[in-house]
Each structure stands twice: as C-alpha cells, then as structure tokens.
Amino acid sequence: MASHEPVLLEEVLYFLDPLPGKVIIDATIGAGGHAEEILKRLQPGGKLIGIDRDSESLRIAHERLKFFENSFMLVSKNFRFIKDIIIELGIGEVDGILFDMGISSIQMETGERGFSIKNIGPLDMRMDRNQSLTAKELVNKLSESELSGLIKSCGEERFHKRIARNIVFARKRKEIATTQELTEVVCRSLPHGLKRQRIHPATRTFQALRIRVNDELGGIEEALRQSPDILKKNGRMCVISFHSLEDRIAKNSLKDFKAKGIFKVLTKKPVTAKEEELSRNPRSRSAKLRAAEKLI
C-alpha cells in the first residue's frame, strides 16, 4: 500500500549515506520502511538501532527486518531518551541518525488507536499505550480557554475559539468519546465553505490533541539537542517533519548547531518530494527533509 511507503526514501539514503560497517539510528522506526533500505546498505558488518515507543510498530518492524537478523536492535522507548538508549546499549557514537516525525501509517489506519478522522474509534491518540493521558481526557476536561489555546498553538487552527466553544457545549449534553463525535463538532464549528478544502476540516484539531497527548514537540526538541553527543565526526543527521511546528524546531536546532560550529547544514532549504513520489504516495505531500553533518 502507498501509505506504508517510506517518504523521501531516495533523499534520506543520499544524505544519510549508509555504508557497510556503519551504525545508524532510526529514531522513529515505525513500520521499518526506511530501516529496511538502510540495512541493505549497511551490510556487511553494519548495525541499525530502531527506536519506537509504539510496541505494535516495533512488532511489525521486527517482522519486516527479520532477514537482517543480528544486524539490528529494536528499543521500545521514547526517542527523547536517545542518548540514554545509546549509553545503555554500550554503542558509543554512531554514524547517522534519522528522525521521521510523521505519525505511523499503522497508527493512523487503525481505528481503535483514535488518530484517524476517517476511521471511527475511541478518542485515544496515545503512541505509547501504557501512558494514561488520552485525547478523550483533554477534550472533556480542559476548559474552553485551554482548549482554544491548545488548538491554536499546536494545530495552528484559525477557528480555535469557535471549535473550543462548541466542544464545551457538546460535552455538557454528552461526553465526547469517539473520533466521529469530535469530527462532527469540529465540522459544525467551521464556515461552510471551508468544509470543501484540500485537508479535512478536523485535521488541525486532531493534530493539536495528538501533539499534546504525546508531548511531541518537547520530545523532538530534547532528542535533537542530544544528537551531537552521540554522532561521530562526519556523522549525518536527517530530520523529516510533516508540519510547520516540527519543521521550525528542526530548522532552529540546525541553525543553532551551525552557529556553534558543530554542524554543517547540507540542505539550504527543506527538501520536498518529487512529482513522481507525490503521485505515488500522497502522504509525502507535506514532508520536509533537513540534513546536517557533524564537523567536530
């Protein structure tokens, strides 16, 4: 399926430059699409460390990568602990790190996970299903002003006040418990003409809730901050983002590292998908890749 295809694969392989004997971290391994192609190029003698906090993603990735037995290690943890993970594994410095910030297609397409607008399911949105906080709790317990602020800051939604007001009104009558119920409230909140726009009207609200449930932006900042400590000299780092909040963090992090003389930025502007990939894999439409090489 197109949705399971790794985005910007050709570009990732070019900038990451995996070669036999190297050690690469795939910090967000998901279904293992990037990892599989990286592992092919690491043979013989190379190793891939795959990190994901979603146990289901790790199970699928393990199945996909089983032909590379003894050449990869999978770690069930949040990538915000990337430095601790490498220390615990006794790896030392690595040759490359890939961060693919997009939500896994496995999570998106499974209705019961609560990420999807199109597939009906409970309002969950947890990447790590062992944590307690869910989107349902946020939707039903945050105040109107808190909801409005969240949808504005993490969803960049213009109509955040209307949506928050209607959520509070709707939940007074009945708890909002499913993705369908929330979608209906959001759609009722928007001007009629916006309901026919390119992205689904509820996309930004769902994004905001997902980011908050999983503290995604905080995790990205922490992981990128630690990356120079675990990269070898001349090691490469690639960051794929899917919305402006993620890309801003990546851009500013690399800019800061460059100013300190730690990294050379390899992408003057973010790399985006070519027409061929866009037609083959619509998910790549919003993907942006930034890459850098460690100098010291």
Residue with tokens 């602020």: 149
**Spatial contact of 52 and 61, defined as CB atoms under 8 Å apart:** yes
Number of domains in the chain: 2
pLDDT at 105: 65
Q: What is the distance between the alpha carbons of residues 289 and 100, in angstroms, rounded to a whole number?
A: 9
**The last residue of a domain, from among 214, 240, 267:** 214
Q: What is the pLDDT of residue 282?
A: 86
At 107, the pLDDT band (50, 70, 90 cuts) reads low
Q: Is the pLDDT of residue 1 over 80?
A: no
Interval 125-146: pLDDT, tens? 999 888 999 999 999 999 999 9
* DSSP 8-state code for residue 242: S
| Residues 81 and 220: beta-carbon distance below 8 Å | no
Collapsed DSSP state (helix, strand, coil) of residue 74: strand
Same domain, 95 and 169: no
CA separation for the pair 41, 47 (Å, rounded): 10
Summarised one tens digit per residue, pLDDT across range 216-233 is: 999 999 999 999 999 999
Full domain range(s) for residue 146: 111-214
Looking at residue 106, what is its pLDDT?
A: 66
Contacts (Cβ under 8 Å, ≥6 apart) of 206: 115, 117, 125, 155, 179, 182
Verify that 75 and 146 share a domain, yes or no. Answer: no
Q: What is the pLDDT of residue 283?
A: 85
Q: Residues 33, 120: one domain?
A: no
| pLDDT exceeds cutoff 50 at 295 | yes
How many Å apart are CA 103 and CA 110, to the nearest integer?
12
Buried b (16+ CB within 10 A) or exposed e, 136-154: bebbbebeeeebbbbbbeb
Identify the domain boundary among 214, 237, 269. Answer: 214
Same domain, yes or no: 265 and 290: yes
84 and 225 both lie in a single domain: yes
Instruction: With a cut of 90, say whether residue 244 has pLDDT above it.
Output: yes
Compute the mean pLDDT over every residue in the chain, rounded to the nearest whole number.
93
Q: What is the pLDDT of residue 114?
A: 78
Closest CA to 178 of 137, 136, 138: 136
Residue 271: phi, psi to the nearest 5?
-85, 135
Mean pLDDT, range 100-115, rounded to an integer = 75
- For residue range 147-205, what is the model confidence (pLDDT) as tens digits? 999 999 999 999 999 999 999 999 999 999 999 999 999 999 998 765 556 788 999 99
Distances (CA, A) of 284 to 107, 128, 277: 17, 24, 7
Domain match, 34 and 90 both: yes
279 exposure class (CB count in 10 Å sphere: 0-12, 13-18, 19+) = exposed
Among 214, 229, 246, the domain boundary falls at: 214
Co-location of 283 and 160 in the same domain: no
Residues of the chain with pLDDT > 90: what percent?
Answer: 85
Q: Mean per-residue pLDDT for 98-126? A: 83
Give pLDDT tens digits for 34-84.
Answer: 999 999 999 999 999 999 999 999 999 999 999 999 999 999 999 999 999
Residue 156 and residue 38 share a domain: no
Based on the fold, state whether residues 101 and 225 are members of the same structural domain. Answer: yes
CATH number, domain with residue 222? 3.40.50.150
Region label for 70, one of left (φ > 0), alpha (ψ between -120 and 50) or beta (otherwise): left
Residue 205's domain is classified under what CATH number?
1.10.150.170
> In the prediction, which pLDDT does 227 show?
97
Residue 242 and residue 97 share a domain: yes
Q: For residue 119, what are the CA distances in angstroms to 111, 114, 278?
A: 5, 8, 23
Edge-to-edge strand ranges of the sheet holding 263-265: 72-76, 47-52, 23-26, 94-100, 231-241, 288-294, 263-265
Q: Is the pTM of this model over 0.95?
A: no
pLDDT at 2: 37
220 and 190 inside one domain: no
Residues 190 and 222 in one domain: no
